[in-house]
Amino acid sequence: MKTKRCNQLKKKITIKKTDALIIVDAQNDFLSGGSLPVPKGEEIILFLNYYLDLFKKAQGKVFATRDWHPINHLSFKEQGGIWSSHCICGTKGAEFTPKLKLPKNAIIISKATDSSKESYSGFDGTELCKKLKKSKVIKVFVAGLAIDYCVKNTVIDAINLGFKTFFLKDASQGIDLNPGDIKQSIEMMRNKGAKQVKKQYFF
């Protein structure tokens, strides 16, 4: 006998003014030609723009996180970290891809700005939670790059902070540095209570 997962949706979703879209790190360095490209990262931009249009029409809130690293960030290989230098504040690589149709009123959240601290989550060391609560947001929809790092950690923090949290799988892509990382990350998010959805779930 099959058991129903508590985070499987049966009804269509209607975006409300108290909902927020959180786009995670859709930056040039994480796309083709960047210093730390996520495989097939470009494929999610079309979906991100679909959700941006959806939220615009519904007058929902839009937040966009970005890595905004100092040049000597500890995550860089030059400093003993595991990543190539990427998203250094003020550089072209740290800019959002021009293909992303961010609205003018999108709230930008800079993260990982401390050279001595790794910060994958959009909530870690930022005012994202404060700004969401100030906007009276109840539900958050999280998408972007990369599933197995910044998306996962942002989703889990959102849940722990009390937000009803949705993971937009079709608008997210992962790295899979270790084979199976993406699958395990998605399972972790779902087990924590995130609802995994895609565009077919929306009106």
Residue 44 reports pLDDT greater than 70: yes
Who's near 107: CB < 8 A, 6+ residues apart?
Answer: 61, 62, 63, 64, 131
Strand arrangement of the beta sheet that strand 107-111 belongs to? 107-111, 61-67, 19-24, 139-145, 164-173, 195-197
How high does pLDDT run on average in the chain?
A: 95
Spatial separation of the C-alpha atoms in residues 197 and 171, rounded to whole Å: 10
- The CATH H-level (homologous superfamily) assignment of domain 21-201 is Isochorismatase-like (3.40.50.850)
The pLDDT-based confidence of 1 (bands split at 50, 70, 90) is very low
The answer to whether the beta carbons of residues 75 and 69 sit under 8 Å apart is: yes
* Strand residues in 59-163 grouped as ranges (E): 61-67, 107-111, 139-145
* 7 has a pLDDT exceeding 80: no
Q: Is the pLDDT of residue 203 over 60?
A: yes
Closest residue by Cα to residue 150 from 26, 6, 1: 26
Mean pLDDT along residues 54-68 = 98
pLDDT tier, 145 (very low <50, low <70, confident <90, very high otherwise)? very high
The confidence score (pLDDT) of residue 8 equals 54
By the 8 A CB rule, do 23 and 100 touch?
A: yes
Question: How is the chain split into domains, by residue range?
Answer: 21-201
**What's the N-to-C CA distance of the chain in angstroms?**
32
**Catalytic residue ranges:** 25, 111, 150
What is the pLDDT at residue 5?
46
